[in-house]
């Protein structure tokens, strides 16, 4: 099945047992004072135990002003060495190579975090954070160069076996390398040699501190996808200057502070979308390379290695979604892998909530507290509803020892996820459904399809526990004309048939409305979104939102924010804007995407009868698949 993925690789005295690397990926499971917690240690232990050859621990700030978030890992003082040494210890105890990434956030550090202007090569603010920056003086540059060297010594002292210098993603080193962010006129700017000088000095200083035999990696954004930004060809020329300073291997990434969609690629983008860039660098330089970017499938990873596009593959979000991915793949148990769907919940959660979470893996960041233990009181459990929440609670309950019966009124499992996968860019949601279905089969859950559950059904089955995961249905708000025949819901749009090319109004500019508009416009329908709020898709994860809005613009979808639908006619809708004037919009079809309402009538009746029962997912409150899966995971572990 695998030609090269599980072959060994040697890197400057290190033997990697396979070609899979977990790259430095923020967990933010760090206390405000920078100390390591038991959650941090367990997070990395589990990833190492899952079978990758090497684990690169997330970016550690080399100075106090280098941190992008209070929960970022830090290494600028000796007091941090003890904590990170525990991480190195558990990674090595599980048989993986322990590496650590050192980092300076540069102009991407918010003022509110460090209470001073962030440092930058030039007086050019970060395009996303904005705010004034402080161009680095020669003295400031040398202070940071020394800080990288000091930090490298701590990494070695802590017991790590490789260091990676973060020179990508718009952070400080990358911002010196690129003309997009570096317009200096001194020896640290200008041509290739000048822009590489800061990086060269850091590499030389680190090499001097760690010795010639210690492996050193450099992470680069080979492409930035902005005007004046790095291209693969220019990055090759930069690496020709950087590598001789002491680099042993290059991790080839992409993107910067203006193009985060290339740093953490959403599901719109192809798998292994940066592998060709890695291949060009590998062919141009006599140095091994690591490829990163949407490599969530071990078969895709094997192809990259087999075709010599890279020597190692980085699987970051893939190992968040399923830390045992490498071991499962090696055994051939592909249907047991909980595949990352590139929803970017992980990245959004660390910045919005200050802790990492995952849609498909509810135990991420909660590994200890969500361990599964066998029940000592087996029960007869009825799960009503076969959506993602119902599937999760069913298989978790069953492997704990309960007798579980799952009832679904439709002919297939998956619930609303089946509708979501109609859009081409969301096809990978099918991987989540497939994983949950395989777990149902292996845990002996009794599945009852095409079965509408009633009070009589529950009385006949006499369960000890009933778990309702009955979901929700589209909301049709009371308004004049809501009964018109040209009214459709998102459920009716995502019916698997190619849409008619009719002029369409989508009422509601939330995530569902935007997905409806994208699906219709991609199939040739002229679409206008009418949204009451001033912002379209405000609830969406920021990177996905940026890409989705770009696609809507490319498909000529018209956006009308701060407009309320007054009434619906058979040939269009009347809307009222902030000027309180009525405007008629012509349309053949009107799609209502203004939210959902829970399907919970049966729960209320069962609850009145005193039967132990729970609600999870949308039938409790319409939200997301992530909430439904998490609630199912919790209930499954506690009943």
Residue among 225, 299, 237, 228 at smallest CA distance from 263: 225
DSSP reduced 3-state for 93: helix
**How far is the first Cα of the chain from the last one, in angstroms, to the nearest whole number?**
40
Tokens of 538: 């405000």
CA 367 to chain centre: 18
Helix locations, 285-344, DSSP H: 298-306, 317-321, 325-331
Helix locations, 96-214, DSSP H: 111-114, 138-157, 172-177, 192-210
Helix 81-93 vs helix 138-157: crossing angle, to nearest 10: 50
Residue among 339, 348, 465, 459 at smallest CA distance from 402: 465
Instruction: State how far the alpha carbon of 378 is from the alpha carbons of 19, 269, 311, 611, 639, in Å.
Output: 43, 45, 49, 17, 9
Under DSSP, the state recorded for 36 is: B
Question: Are 222 and 170 contacting, i.e. CB atoms less than 8 angstroms apart?
Answer: no
Residue among 511, 534, 543 at smallest CA distance from 626: 511
Active site residue 76: no
Helix H or strand E encompassing 215: none
Q: CA-to-CA distance for 309 and 305, rounded, in angstroms?
A: 6
HSE-CB of 156 using CA atoms within 13 angstroms: 17
Q: CA-to-CA distance for 594 and 511, rounded, in angstroms?
A: 10
CA-angle at 583, arms to 580 and 588, nearest 5°: 145
Of residues 44, 171, 407, 630, which has the active-site annotation?
171
DSSP reduced 3-state for 405: strand
Tokens of 319: 């190992």
Helix 388-399 vs helix 625-638: crossing angle, to nearest 10: 20
Q: CA-to-CA distance for 412 and 421, rounded, in angstroms?
A: 14
Helix H or strand E encompassing 493: helix 490-493
CA-angle at 293, arms to 109 and 234, nearest 5°: 75
Give the residues across from 61 on adjacent strands: 74, 103
Q: In terms of DSSP bridges, do strands 589-592 and 504-507 run parallel, antiparallel, or are they unpaired?
A: parallel
Catalytic residues: 171
């Amino acid at each position: 099945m695998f030609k090269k993925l599980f072959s060994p690789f040697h890197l400057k005295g290190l033997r990697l047992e396979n070609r899979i690397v977990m790259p430095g990926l923020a967990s933010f499971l760090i206390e405000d004072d920078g100390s390591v917690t038991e959650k941090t240690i367990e997070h990395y232990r589990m990833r190492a135990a899952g079978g990758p050859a090497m684990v690169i621990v997330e970016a550690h700030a080399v100075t106090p002003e280098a941190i992008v978030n209070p929960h970022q890992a830090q290494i600028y003082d000796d007091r941090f060495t003890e904590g990170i040494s525990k991480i190195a210890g558990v990674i090595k105890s599980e048989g993986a190579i322990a590496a650590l990434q050192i980092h300076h956030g540069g102009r991407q550090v918010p003022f509110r975090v460090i209470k001073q202007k962030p440092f930058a090569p030039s007086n050019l603010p970060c395009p996303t954070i904005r705010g004034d920056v402080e161009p680095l003086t020669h003295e400031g540059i040398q202070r940071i160069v020394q800080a990288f060297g000091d930090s490298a010594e701590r990494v070695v002292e802590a017991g790590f076996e490789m260091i990676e210098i973060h020179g990508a993603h718009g952070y400080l080193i990358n911002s010196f390398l690129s003309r997009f962010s570096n317009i200096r006129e001194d020896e640290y700017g200008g041509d290739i040699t000048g822009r590489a000088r800061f990086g060269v000095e850091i590499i030389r200083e680190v090499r001097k501190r760690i010795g010639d035999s210690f492996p050193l990696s450099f992470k680069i954004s080979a492409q930035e996808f902005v005007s004046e930004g790095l291209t693969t060809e220019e990055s090759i020329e930069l690496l020709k200057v950087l590598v001789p300073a002491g680099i042993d291997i290059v991790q080839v990434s992409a993107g910067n502070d203006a193009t985060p969609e290339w740093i953490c690629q959403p599901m719109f983008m192809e798998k292994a979308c940066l592998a060709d860039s890695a291949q060009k660098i590998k062919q141009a330089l006599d140095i091994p390379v690591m490829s990163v970017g949407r490599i969530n499938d071990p078969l895709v990873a094997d192809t990259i290695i087999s075709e010599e596009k890279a020597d190692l593959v980085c699987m970051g979000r893939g190992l968040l979604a399923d830390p045992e991915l490498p071991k499962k793949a090696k055994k051939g148990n592909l249907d047991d892998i909980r595949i990352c769907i590139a929803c970017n919940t992980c990245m959004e959660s660390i910045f919005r909530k200050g802790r990492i979470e995952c849609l498909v893996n509810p135990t991420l960041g909660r590994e200890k507290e969500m361990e599964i233990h066998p029940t000592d009181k087996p029960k007869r459990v009825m799960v009503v509803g076969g959506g993602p929440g119902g599937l999760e609670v069913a298989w978790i309950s069953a492997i704990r020892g309960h007798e579980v019966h799952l009832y679904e009124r439709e002919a297939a499992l998956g619930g609303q996820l089946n509708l979501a996968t109609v859009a081409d860019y969301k096809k990978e949601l099918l991987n989540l459904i497939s994983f949950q279905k395989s777990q149902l089969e292996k845990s002996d859950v009794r599945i009852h399809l095409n079965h509408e559950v009633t009070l009589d059904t529950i009385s006949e089955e006499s369960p000890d526990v009933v778990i309702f995961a009955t979901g929700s249905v589209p909301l049709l708000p009371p308004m004049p004309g809501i009964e018109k025949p040209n009214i459709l819901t998102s459920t009716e749009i995502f019916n698997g048939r190619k849409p008619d090319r009719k002029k369409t109004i989508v009422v509601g500019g939330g995530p569902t409305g935007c997905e409806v508009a994208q699906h219709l416009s991609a199939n040739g329908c002229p679409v206008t979104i009418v949204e009451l709020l001033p912002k379209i898709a405000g609830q969406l994860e920021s990177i996905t939102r940026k890409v989705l809005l770009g696609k809507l613009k490319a498909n000529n979808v018209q956006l009308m924010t701060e407009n309320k639908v007054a009434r619906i006619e058979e040939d269009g809708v009347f809307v009222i804007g902030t000027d309180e004037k009525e405007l008629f919009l012509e349309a053949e079809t009107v799609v209502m995407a203004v939210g959902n309402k829970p399907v919970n009538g049966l729960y209320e009746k069962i609850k009145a009868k005193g039967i132990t029962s729970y609600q999870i997912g949308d039938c409790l409150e319409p939200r997301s698949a992530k909430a439904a899966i998490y609630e199912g995971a919790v209930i499954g572990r506690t009943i």
